[in-house]
């Protein structure tokens, strides 16, 4: 198990390899479909200090608002990442984001982007919402809550020992590609005999 502390350098991220299990601590930000669309249309400066050498978490949480106005995460597993495929490589390069955390993996465009700008794809376990919410120790801030709604807002969170697996690295390795290549062969035999 490799411990990663955020912010993290490009060099440290390039050391990670497909299959590495990691525990992440530090500040990161959630962003999913509407947030990525918004970034791609506006490229806002206010995201720079939040994202540089940090990570984007593909997550639309269940949250709780406390009487003092503060928030906490109640359920916070990953959402499917491939929907951000059109945007992610450009977002990571522009903001120097060192990893995205999600589920299901991403495609060729992102894989090439990881190699170019120095990043990894981290797979969290889908449906692990109760456990992963425990790893979110603090909600530091929330941006664009009114415009985007709870699941789609940018939640700036502090995590502690958040578990994930490197399934795409900066050297062209993708677990998703190798699993698919194997299952394609099996499916072909089952379908065509």
Helix (H, G, I), strand (E, B) or coil at 12: helix
Site size with another protein, rule: CB under 8 A = 48
Closest to another protein by CB, 99 or 124: 124
Q: For residue 125, state whether it binds another protein (rule: CB under 8 A).
A: yes
Site stretch for another protein (CB under 8 A), options 4-12, 43-51, 103-111, 154-162: 103-111
Measured CA to CA in angstroms, residue 33 lies from 2, 39, 56, 150, 189 at distances of 29, 10, 12, 12, 37
Active site residue 40: no
Closest to another protein by CB, 45 or 184: 184
Give the nearest distance from C-beta 73 to another protein in angstroms: 8
Strands 21-30 and 154-168, how do they pair? antiparallel
CB environment 16-42: b (16+ within 10 A), e (fewer) = bebebebbbbbbbbbbbbbbbebbeee
Q: For residue 118, state whether it binds another protein (rule: CB under 8 A).
A: no
C-alpha–C-alpha distance, residues 34 and 20, integer Å? 30
Q: For residue 165, state whether it binds another protein (rule: CB under 8 A).
A: yes
C-alpha–C-alpha distance, residues 51 and 167, integer Å? 21
Q: For residue 2, state whether it binds another protein (rule: CB under 8 A).
A: no
Interface mask (CB under 8 A) for another protein, residues 11-50, using x and -? --------x--------------x----------------
Binding residues for another protein, rule: CB under 8 A, are: 19, 34, 59-64, 74-77, 79-80, 82, 103-105, 123, 125-131, 133-134, 148-152, 163, 165, 167, 175-176, 179-180, 182-184, 186-187, 190-192
């Amino acid at each position: 198990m490799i411990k990663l502390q955020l912010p993290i350098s490009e060099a440290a991220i390039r050391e990670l390899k497909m299959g590495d299990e990691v525990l992440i601590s530090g500040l990161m930000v959630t962003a999913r479909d509407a947030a990525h669309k918004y970034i791609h249309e506006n490229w806002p400066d206010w995201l720079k200090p939040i994202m540089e050498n940090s990570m984007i978490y593909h997550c639309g949480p269940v949250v709780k608002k406390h009487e003092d106005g503060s928030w906490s995460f109640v359920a916070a597993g990953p959402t499917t990442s491939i929907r951000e495929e059109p945007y992610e490589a450009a977002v990571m390069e522009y903001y120097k984001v060192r990893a995205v955390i999600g589920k299901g993996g991403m495609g060729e465009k992102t894989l090439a982007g990881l190699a170019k700008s120095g990043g990894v794809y981290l797979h969290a376990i889908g449906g692990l919402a109760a456990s992963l919410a425990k790893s979110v120790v603090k909600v530091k801030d929330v941006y664009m809550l009114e415009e985007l709604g709870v699941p789609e807002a940018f939640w700036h969170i502090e995590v502690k020992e958040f578990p994930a697996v490197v399934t795409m690295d900066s050297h062209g390795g993708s677990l998703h590609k190798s699993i698919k290549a194997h299952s394609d062969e099996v499916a072909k035999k089952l379908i065509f005999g």
